[in-house]
Structure 1
Amino acid sequence: MSTNSGPSTHFSARLGASIHDNRYTILRMLGEGVTATTWLWKILNAETTSDVEQGVVRELEYLKDIVKNAEERKDEGFEHLPILLDDFIITSQDGNRHLCLVQTVFSTSVSALRRSAPTKSLPVYMVRNILYMVLQALDVLHSLKIIHTDVKLDNMLFTSDLCSSDSAMSEFLAANPSETEHDLIPKSQPIPNEWTYRTSAFEAERMNVALVDLGHAQRAGEQPTTSGFSAPALRAPEVILWSDFGPGIDIWAIGCLTFELLTGRWLFAPEAADEDWSFEDDHLAKMMELTGQRFSESMLDRAKERGRYFDQNGDLLRIPELVPITIEAAMANYKIPGLTEEDIGLAANFMRECLKFDYRERATAKDLIKHKFLADVFMC
Structure 2
Amino acid sequence: MTPLVDTHFMPDIQSSLKSSRYIVLRKLGEGVTSSTWLVRDTLSSPQMYAAAKILTYEATADQLCVRELEFLQTITRGAETNDSEEGFEHLPFLYDHFTIDVGGPGNTAQTHLCLIQTLFSTSVSALRRSAPTQSLPIYMVRSFIYMTLQALQTLHSLHIIHTDLKLDNILFSNAQFSYDADLERYLLEHPAEVDSEGVPKSQPLPNEWTHETSALQAERMTVALVDYGHAEWAEKPMAKNFCPMALRPPEVILAAGVSTAVDIWAIGCLTFELLVGRWLFSPEDGGDDWTQEDDHLAKMMELTGQFDFPQSVLERSQLKDKYFDETGNLLRVPELIPVKLEDAISNYKIQALDDNDIREAADFIRSCLHLDWTQRKTAEELLKHPFALQAFS
Quickly name the TM-score band, shorter chain normalised.
Answer: over 0.9
Figure out how many residues of one structure are paired with residues of the other and give that number.
Answer: 373
Alpha-carbon contact 2:135-2:273 (below 8 Å) kept: yes
Secondary structure of the equivalent of 1:78? helix
Alpha-carbon contact 2:29-2:203 (below 8 Å) kept: yes
Counterpart amino acid of 1:83?
F
Deviation, 1:161, is: 2.6
Counterpart in the other structure of 1:3: none
Pick one of 98, 111, 117 that aligns with 1:88: 98
Counterpart amino acid of 1:86?
D
- Deviations, residues 211-257 of structure 1 (Å, cap 9, x unaligned): 000010000111x3221111100000000000011101000000000
Counterpart in the other structure of 2:61: none
Alpha-carbon contact 1:10-1:36 (below 8 Å) kept: yes
Alpha-carbon contact 1:160-1:194 (below 8 Å) kept: no
CA–CA distance in structure 2, aligned partners of residues 304 and 9 of structure 1: 35
Residues 347-356 or 49-58, more deviating: 49-58
Alpha-carbon contact 1:105-1:163 (below 8 Å) kept: no
Counterpart in the other structure of 2:50: 50
Superposition pairs of residues 106-185 of structure 1, within 5 angstroms:
106-185=120-199
**1:280 matched to 2:293:** yes
Unaligned runs of 5+ in 1: 1-5
Superposition pairs of residues 287-302 of structure 1, within 5 angstroms:
287-293=300-306, 294-302=308-316
CA–CA distance in structure 1, aligned partners of residues 49 and 312 of structure 2: 52
Counterpart amino acid of 2:99?
I
Counterpart in the other structure of 1:267: 280
Alpha-carbon contact 2:164-2:231 (below 8 Å) kept: yes
Secondary structure of the equivalent of 1:157? strand
CA–CA distance in structure 1, aligned partners of residues 239 and 388 of structure 2: 34
Pick one of 58, 66, 80 that aligns with 1:71: 80
CA–CA distance in structure 2, aligned partners of residues 376 and 226 of structure 1: 37
Q: Identity across aligned pairs (percent)?
A: 54
Deviation, 1:163, is: 3.6
CA–CA distance in structure 2, aligned partners of residues 357 and 19 of structure 1: 47
Counterpart in the other structure of 1:37: 35
Deviation, 1:376, is: 1.5
CA–CA distance in structure 1, aligned partners of residues 176 and 23 of structure 2: 18
Alpha-carbon contact 2:6-2:32 (below 8 Å) kept: no
Alpha-carbon contact 2:268-2:364 (below 8 Å) kept: yes
Deviation, 1:377, is: 1.1
C-alpha RMSD of matched pairs (Å): 1.2
**1:236 matched to 2:280:** no
Deviation, 1:298, is: 2.0
Secondary structure of the equivalent of 2:29? strand
Unaligned runs of 5+ in 2: 56-64
Deviation, 1:182, is: 2.9
CA–CA distance in structure 1, aligned partners of residues 221 and 377 of structure 2: 25
Counterpart in the other structure of 1:11: 9
Counterpart in the other structure of 1:219: 233
Secondary structure of the equivalent of 2:392? coil
- Deviations, residues 12-46 of structure 1 (Å, cap 9, x unaligned): 21111112111011110001112211100011254
Deviation, 1:162, is: 3.6
CA–CA distance in structure 1, aligned partners of residues 134 and 11 of structure 2: 34
Alpha-carbon contact 1:256-1:266 (below 8 Å) kept: yes
Alpha-carbon contact 1:108-1:158 (below 8 Å) kept: yes
